Amino acid sequence: MSCTTVTETEEQFLTPELKQIEEIRAVSKSKTVSARDLQPIVWRNVAKFALLHLAGLVGLYQAIFYAKWATLLFTFVLFCVSQFGATGGAHRLWSHRSFKAHWPAKVILMYFNTFSFQNDIIEWARDHRCHHKWTDTDADPHNAQRGLFYSHIGWLMVKKHPEVIRRGKTLDISDLTNDPVLKFQRKYYLPMAIFNGFIFTTIVPWYFWGETAFNALYIAGFLRYVASLNVTFCVNSLAHFIGYKPYDLSISPTENIMTSITTMGEGGHNYHHTFPQDYRTSEFGRFANWTTILIDIFAALGWVYDRKTVSNEIIARQIAKHGPNFGHSH
C-alpha cells in the first residue's frame, strides 16, 4: 500500500487564490448594492427545507418511541453510506483528486453518493472548488463571513451570488464533466436519488422485518437524510467558526472534533484548507476518520491508489510559520 507524499506546498490542488481573494474583497467593499438585492430569497427552497425538517422531526419521534431495532440499525448503516458517498466520493476523490480510483471504487462512491442527495457530484465539486479557491469571499458559495446560518443552510435558500457564478465559470471542471461515471450520475440523478433515498429505504424494512412503511419512510428516509445534510452543513458552518487553528491562524476554517465524529472525518478543517491535496483531510490519519479508513480498505483491495499525503516535515514547517505561535519564533 503505497502513499504518495506531496513534497512542495506548490503542488497542492485547490490552494486559495490569495491575489484574487483580495481583488474580490475590494470589489465587494466598494459595492453599494445589498446582498439581499443580489441574492433574493428562493421561497420554494425555504418551503422545501422547512417541510423536510418537519418530516425529519416526525422520523425522530417515531425512531424514539415506535421503531424496531433493525430499522434503527438499517438507518445508521444508510447514514454512513450517504456520508461516505459525500466525503470519500464527491469531496476527497472528485473535488480534490486526493487519490485515484479504478472503476469499482468510482461506481460504488457514485452510487453511495446518490443516497446523500446533495446535488450531483459535478455540481457539488464545482461549488466546493469555488469554496477552496476563494474562501470567505463573495465567490465562496457558503461564505462564512455572512454568518453561521448563511454558511450552514441559508446559502441554499437564496439565489447564488453573481460572483460565485462568474468565478465558477472560470474553473476547469472538464475532469468532472468528461468522467463517464459522473455523466451517468448526472443523467439519471433525480430518479436514482429518489429511489435510493426514499423508495428503497421504505421497501427494505417493510419487506424484510415487518416495519411499518410509515416508520421506514420517515426514519430511514427523511430522518437519515436530514441528519446527513446537517452534519455535512456543519463542515461549512461550525468548522469555520468553532475550534483551533494550528496550521493557519489567518483563515476561518478550524479543527472541530465534533464535526469529525459526525461526518466520518471531515472536521480537520484548518488542516484541510491548508493542505487540500491530502486524502486524509487531517494530520491525524485515521483518528475519528472513518472515511480515511474506508479509502485505505479500498486501497488494500486494489480499487484506489496514489493516495496523496503531506510530509510531517512540511506540516511542522507550516505550523511554525503560520500557526498560533507565529511571531514568537522570529
| CA-wise closest residue to 108 among 298, 306, 299, 302 | 298
Shortest distance, position 245 Cβ to Zn ion, whole Å = 12
Residue 131 and residue 220 in contact, taking contact as beta carbons nearer than 8 Å:
no
| CA-wise closest residue to 313 among 96, 33, 7, 14 | 7
Cα separation, 323 vs 320, in Å, equals 6
Shortest distance, position 268 Cβ to Zn ion, whole Å = 11
In the bound state with Zn ion, the residue whose beta carbon lies nearer, of 126 and 224, is 126
> What is the dihedral sign for C-alpha 103, 107, 112, 115?
positive
Indicate the helix (H) or strand (E) that contains 313: helix 312-322
In the bound state with Zn ion, the residue whose beta carbon lies nearer, of 75 and 291, is 291
- Applying CB under 5 A, the site for Zn ion has a residue count of 1
Binding characters for Zn ion, 240-259, by CB under 5 A (x = yes): -------------x------
In the bound state with Zn ion, the residue whose beta carbon lies nearer, of 88 and 253, is 253
Residue 62 and residue 215 in contact, taking contact as beta carbons nearer than 8 Å:
yes
In the bound state with Zn ion, the residue whose beta carbon lies nearer, of 13 and 326, is 13
Shortest distance, position 142 Cβ to Zn ion, whole Å = 8
| CA-wise closest residue to 107 among 187, 184, 181 | 181
Q: Which residue has the cell 484574487?
A: 20
Shortest distance, position 92 Cβ to Zn ion, whole Å = 8
Task: Determine the residue with CB nearest Zn ion.
Answer: 253
Shortest distance, position 155 Cβ to Zn ion, whole Å = 12
| Residues in 152-211 that interact with Zn ion by CB under 5 A | none
| Residues in 248-307 that interact with Zn ion by CB under 5 A | 253
Residues listed for the chain: 330
Shortest distance, position 71 Cβ to Zn ion, whole Å = 33
In the bound state with Zn ion, the residue whose beta carbon lies nearer, of 56 and 243, is 243
Residue 16 is placed in which grid cell? 486559495
Describe the crossing of helices 121-133 and 162-170 by its angle, rounded to 10 degrees: 100
In the bound state with Zn ion, the residue whose beta carbon lies nearer, of 196 and 228, is 228
| Residues in 94-133 that interact with Zn ion by CB under 5 A | none
The residues binding Zn ion (CB under 5 A) are 253
